[in-house]
Amino acid sequence: MDESVYQPAAIMMLLLFFAGLGALLIVKRHLKEQPVDVERVAKLISRRAFSTKQFTLLALGLLVLYFLAGCTGLLFFDGYIPEEDKPQLQLMIQWMLYALLAGLFLIINRPRRKRFGMSSKNLRWFPVGMGFYFAAIPIIFTASFLYRLLLSLILGSEIELQEITQYVRGDWTWLKVSFIFTAVIAAPIYEEIIFRGILFPFILKRSNLKMAIIFTAVLFAAIHLHIPSLLPIALLSVLLCYAYLRTASIWTCIGMHMMFNAMSIFALNLIG
């Protein structure tokens, strides 16, 4: 990598790291002064769980949708769709999944916002989630650095970025803006409702807190289909569950998740 490009990125990472240390100290101090009864909040969250029937219907619906979405990849291999049209099709399929998921919600249960702690009075937790992200930076950065270093030593080659990163870098086009909007706004809402709003309470109600956090983290990392990001994403999931347990609102997780994606895209564009 060109040194003139690397230096701004390195400076930004250092600034974020030390800002994160400050935010982490503030959060720890706040939690010490105003402790949260985690067991009480966990019981509250577990009561939001879907029934087994509702959860099974939703899970089966999602599996079918993802299977159909995966089948579209065959169109590229068979030459039915030109490779240059792949980004547009991927974006269209992703938004179709979001729309169909919303339809599944309406069919299965018509879930109310309070089920996820997303009532208007809890919207105050959204900016708090953004602050939680900065407190999580030192933990995520350190784990990501060590994990990637270990992978590079094992694989003996440069680690490839996720495919979507090529669509959020470079010149500004309508396609890049659409992918950034999807990654920063739509995806965090979708993923937090699925993982922290539905999966986490469902597992929590039927097992224990530790198992619910681990299972959610493993599945959350697995769906991103990128081995170099498995540990950092799993760790992010653990921290998102932790934030949910401190506020009982998915707004906190959405704010934290949005900041994570936004800062990742900003770093990618800074590096070039």
Mean pLDDT, each 10-residue run in order, the chain (272 residues): 58 83 87 86 92 88 77 59 73 84 75 73 91 91 86 70 72 87 92 93 94 95 83 94 94 95 84 62
97 and 196 share one domain = no
Do the Cβ atoms of 213 and 81 come closer than 8 Å? no
**Whether residues 191 and 207 fall in one domain:** yes
126 in any annotated domain: yes
**Tokens 């659409």 map to which residue?**
178
* pLDDT of 238: 96
Residue with tokens 């990637």: 148
179 within domain boundaries: no
Cα 142 from Cα 16, distance rounded (Å): 12
The tokens describing 76, both together, are 């590229």
pLDDT score, position 260 = 92
Determine the pLDDT at residue 218. Answer: 94
Q: Are residues 76 and 167 in the same domain?
A: no
Shared domain check, 131 and 87: no
Q: Which two tokens stand for residue 42?
A: 């966990």
148 and 251 together in one domain: yes
Tokens (6 digits) for 171: 């010149």
Choose one of 74, 108, 142: the last residue of a domain. 108
Look at residue 228 and tell me if it is in a domain.
yes
> Which pLDDT does position 1 carry in this prediction?
47
Domain limits for position 126: 3-50+115-174+185-271
Q: Rounded to whole angstroms, how far apart are CA atoms 36 and 157? A: 45
Q: How many domains does the chain have?
A: 2
State the Rg of the chain over Cα. Answer: 19
Which pLDDT score, from 0 to 100, does residue 88 have? 82
Domain assignment present for residue 180? The answer is: no
- Judge if 73 and 191 occupy the same domain: no
Token look-up 């992918």 returns 179
